[in-house]
Structure 1
Amino acid sequence: MMHNYRIGIDVGGTHTDAVILDQEFNVISETKQQTTTDVSTGIYHAVKEVLDSSNVPKDQINYAMLGTTHCTNAIVERKRLNNVGVIRIGAPATLGIKPLVGVPDDLRNILGQHVHIVRGGHEFDGRTIAELDTEKIYEIAHDLKGKVDSVAITSVFSPVSTEHEYEAYNILQEVLGDDVSLSVSSEIGSVGLLERENATILNAAVVNVARSTADGFINALKKEGVDAKVFFGQNDGTLMSVEYTVKYPILTIACGPTNSIRGASYLTNQSDALVIDVGGTTTDIGVLTGSFPRQSSLAVEIGGVRTNFRMPDITSVGIGGGTIVRENSDGTIKLGPDSVGYQLQEKALVFGGDTVTTTDIVVAKGLAQVGEPSHLSNLSEDFVDQAYRTLVENVEVAIEKMKTSAEPIPVILVGGGSILLPDELEGASVVHRPNNFGVANAIGSAIAQVSGQIERVFALDELGREATIEHAKQLAMNEAINAGASENDLEIVDFEDVPLAYLPGNATKIKAKAAGTLAE
């Protein structure tokens, strides 16, 4: 009998986790491997290990899902970024503030080599500020040819009228061909020119990283003889196809914590809870609402750059399994923020190293069994108790920050480092520790649905309210289908409309999101 298996992988800073699930989403095998510097080696080891230990026939693995932090790391580390051309359509109205203002100097030096501002753009009510200077766009396109491999196109108020962005897009595509990728701001950020422009430039900057990660993943599977459909995790807890990922790589940012939140929801059957994901370096706390991560409503900084595309609302605390524990001169305890990360098994005391980590503290407390507890005989009981109390209190403070009311709320502990935390936490009504908690992130990436979302301004006067809402929902469903969803069970999972009183034409900003299962 043929079965439908799927592989889920999550690449974190410390570990690369992998699971194989059957069609009922039962975990058949799981593994934790070290994340490697070149990443694809770590992915390959993880894939090989879950396949070897599961005995699942390779031709029955139909899907493979990858959650990765590559694009985030590339921006934070300023490495492997594309040569980007930046075009802003908005002269003369926006000349006062140049693109990339407020972006850290080292990043601006990399991304600001080819910046152009062109006449055109729209008012906030959709009227044209100035006709688009198409001659100038042709001129810029010829100038950029051979110098850049990615272009970010941003026009003033394009979420209200996308017309000038797509005119520019068509000209650039005609001149530069298919080898240069084009990022359009109205498809990426929301209203707010500078943040949307930043998000678009960052998107354009990580296209190559996304492409090479995708190739590395596909090759790791091929090397093991697996011919599966490949998907990437995006930061709202759903999946996107490889083509979609390479077009919108910025959407992979923060998908690690998101996968853990979705995995935690699935493993415990909880739809509303706080999820605490303890890794090797950090603890990420997110909020489950209706089985999906709560989204942040604020501008988000990535690598020092303010952006305004959708992100999960996550708070991170510098506490993980490898966090270094020190005693201050006044006898108080300092945790981190540095961590031994993926070198835990060489550096921690219990493994014969010389660094005191949080893992040593919980083993000394008798709360976990790993390594060789006899190595810890020199730690005083007082030091251990105090360090443990500090660790728990830091997490409890973060729980309070994330809760929306004073009432206790269910808490789900996941991640390899969650052995650090006790069964009772201040602010938690109940603490769940599901089976397979250590690989909740990989499970989250494997069970995810595919989604599509739109966010733009509509004038209700044109079609009337009902018809406009239906139209917006249909656009979101089309996006989901483009990203790889099946048409049969698509549903609208998130919908909001905000009337914009200051705009004529009864304007309303609509955000709609559709999600469904993977298309066969």
Structure 2
Amino acid sequence: MEGGGSDAGRLVLVEARSEFVAALEDGIPLAVVPDVIALVDVTTGWAVPVEEVRYGLRVHLVTLPSDPVWYTLEGLRLAGPAAFGLAGLAGAADGFRAPARHLMILGVDVGPTNTDAVLLDGDRAVRAVKVTSLAGDAVGSLAAAVRALPAELRGRATQLAVGLRVAARAVRERHGLARVGVLRVGGPAADAVRPLFGWPEALRDAVCADAANVRGGGGLVPRDTTPLDRDAVARFGASPAGRAEAFAVTAVFSPVDGGQEREAAEILRAETGPDTTVLLSSDVGTLDLLARENATVLDAALSVLVARVADELTDTLPRLGLAPAAAVLVTRSDGTLMSLEYLRRQPGLSLGSGPACTIRGAGLLARLKDAVVADIGERRARVGALTGGYPQEAGPGERFGGVPVSVRFPDLITVRADAHRELAEAADRMRPAAGLLPLILVGGGAGGVPAEVLAGFDVVRPGHGGVAGAFGAAASPVGGQYDRIVRRGPGRRLDAVRDEVRDLARAGAVRAGADPRGMGAPTVLLERVPAGGEEVAALRALEKHIGRAATHIAPIEVGGVNSMLPIACAAEAGLPLVDGDAMGRAFPEAQMVLPGLIGVANTPMALADDKGKAARSPAPTP
């Protein structure tokens, strides 16, 4: 954790297993188990579990003492530092920082009114220019801004990072969108909510050529798969939908197995032509059927426009006078970059990328990682938050252009540029509490905001604030995220599955434009989805083993799923639930329970899996 505000300059290492087990600063423990160590989201006030920790999350580190019994010799033996392999941790917290690469990078932000260009040498702005944008010509605007830079300087640029807003403008104005044939593969199991439900009527009419739901779809296990109705897919391709400019195919459980989506794509191309654009929801990755379908349809609707712009940019690049073989990257909605090829595959990743790079650029110019950012334009002002150097993301259920999607984009409040009191209110709403974060003002209209309106803020007006979007594009890294659910399969080793997912994640990052020589090892999260009856199956197996029926159910701890499953088990088994637990807190290991302090064994124990199998461990030998 890197400190902010009054803690700026501090670096704390938080060690985690399935729980947070130690916090150290300069190798000196601040807290170690059995202390309770927690990270609390400063925006929501919710505790952040280990599996949800990510770069850019803004948190408080909170430590609390456990019950005194856990600090006795027996308690420390069960749940102290040595139980987690931390006996020698105090001297093993040396930090590491990778050296920064020295590159000349050109960043361009194509806005509706002006196009900005910034040339960076390392993290220093060498030259910045602002030109009037050409209406309806994003690539022409980019070329004009680049050519406004001195030839000898732009000739040293080895990378061009471009902020394109054509996708967002097309969705907002309902203009330039392709007509899409929307095919859902799920049959009656996916018929409760029709495709494109919840879309604004005007946008739905502009995008949808036709929609159908055909039989098929997979499941978490192969036996749940329903065969694809190939004839229905062919009829859809031969229907009026066949005159669509692109197709979006979404199958139930396709992130687990995308085979039926690929099969449907082959049939559609056989009916409509081999060059037909067919986008598959399995590339989006999330299990949420509706959000995945919406994101895929938006990608298909934007595919023709984005492909044209990418082709124009590729054709224009050799005439811009950049360094030979200069790389071209475009901005993403999370404040990072991706390749042109990745943009063609998932155009929706660029939605919201303009504000995202402006927010990131504002933080870099102000040398702040946590702040509220207000981008003041000619007609409107956008207010967002910077968290760990990247834009704070909008929460679940947010919409883009009125469409509920799973795309990550910045959390923004938009007001009129001349409504200064509304601007102050929006900035205040973006702060977790009064006075906690400074306010960075950027954009061409930043100088027109009177200081007295923002009297309660620590206002920062950085140099080059008028070109913050271009600065953010130039200074951002390549980003990517790979979501996939993998079936292990019989006889297949878990480490083989992990290696496969790691290789796929690495390949996905390279496709996004990452340099494989500078990539670290991808982190793979393994999760097995329960079938729903495991807790009762384990209970019955234990009853059978000990030869008597259970009379009550009690939770083992007060944390996460281990608090909820006993409730479900008691309800299903018809047994009373004890309002108490065996730890008085949460620990990750089964032997770390209060009865163990007085010699009560936690065996015999029964285990059950999602396939109906059960196993029992014997009682301890005296």
Counterpart residue number, 1:490: 519
Counterpart residue number, 1:366: none
- Can you list the C-alpha shifts for 1:210-264, whole angstroms capped at 9, x where unaligned? 1222233334444444463221111111111111111111111000111012212
Q: Does 1:56 align with 2:85?
A: no
Q: Distance in 2 between matches of 1:297 and 1:501?
A: 27
- Can you list the C-alpha shifts for 1:93-130, whole angstroms capped at 9, x where unaligned? 22343212232222222322232221111346775352
Counterpart residue number, 1:287: 385
Counterpart residue number, 1:396: 424
**Cα gap change, 1:256 to 1:504, in 2 (>3 Å):** farther
Kept in 1, the 8 Å contact 2:106–2:120? The answer is yes
2:518 alignment partner, SS class: coil
Q: Does 1:209 align with 2:305?
A: yes
**Cα gap change, 1:176 to 1:495, in 2 (>3 Å):** same
Shift of the alpha carbon at 1:182? 1.9
Counterpart residue number, 1:454: 482
Q: Distance in 2 between matches of 1:260 and 1:495?
A: 31
Aligned positions of 1:360-439 closer than 5 A: 391=420, 393-406=421-434, 408-421=436-449, 425=454, 428=457, 430-439=458-467
TM-score, with length taken from structure 1:
0.73
Q: Distance in 1 between matches of 2:505 and 2:462?
A: 34
Q: Does 1:105 align with 2:201?
A: yes
Counterpart residue number, 1:180: 276
Counterpart residue number, 1:258: 356
2:129 alignment partner, SS class: strand
TM-score, with length taken from structure 2:
0.62
Q: Distance in 2 between matches of 1:116 and 1:278?
A: 44
Aligned positions of 1:203-352 closer than 5 A: 203-226=299-322, 228-312=326-410, 314-320=411-417, 323=418, 335=419
Q: Does 1:13 align with 2:112?
A: yes
Q: Distance in 1 between matches of 2:489 and 2:120?
A: 49
- Root-mean-square deviation (CA), in Å? 3.3
- Can you list the C-alpha shifts for 1:373-408, whole angstroms capped at 9, x where unaligned? xxxxxxxxxxxxxxxxxx1x3223212322234551
Counterpart residue number, 1:346: none
Counterpart residue number, 1:480: 509
Q: Which has the higher contact order (CA 8 A, sep 6+)?
A: 1
1:79 alignment partner, SS class: coil
Shift of the alpha carbon at 1:465? 8.1
Kept in 2, the 8 Å contact 1:189–1:200? The answer is no
Identity %: 33
Q: Distance in 2 between matches of 1:91 and 1:196?
A: 17
Aligned length: 430
**Cα gap change, 1:243 to 1:57, in 2 (>3 Å):** closer
1:397 alignment partner, SS class: helix
**Cα gap change, 1:436 to 1:153, in 2 (>3 Å):** same
Q: Distance in 2 between matches of 1:232 and 1:217?
A: 11
Counterpart residue number, 1:27: 125
Shift of the alpha carbon at 1:468? 6.4
- Can you list the C-alpha shifts for 1:61-111, whole angstroms capped at 9, x where unaligned? 322121111111111211111131211101122234321223222222232
Q: Which has the larger displacement, 99-108 or 451-460? A: 451-460
1:408 alignment partner, SS class: coil
2:361 alignment partner, SS class: helix
Counterpart residue number, 1:45: 144
Q: Distance in 1 between matches of 2:429 and 2:256?
A: 35
Kept in 2, the 8 Å contact 1:189–1:199? The answer is no
Q: Distance in 1 between matches of 2:425 and 2:223?
A: 49
Q: Distance in 2 between matches of 1:106 and 1:35?
A: 28
Kept in 1, the 8 Å contact 2:255–2:484? The answer is yes
Instruction: Name which one, 1 or 2, has greater alpha-carbon Rg.
Output: 2
Residue type of the alignment partner of 1:485:
A
- Can you list the C-alpha shifts for 1:283-311, whole angstroms capped at 9, x where unaligned? 22222222222222322322222222222
Q: Which runs of 5+ in 1 are unaligned?
A: 324-334, 336-390, 509-520
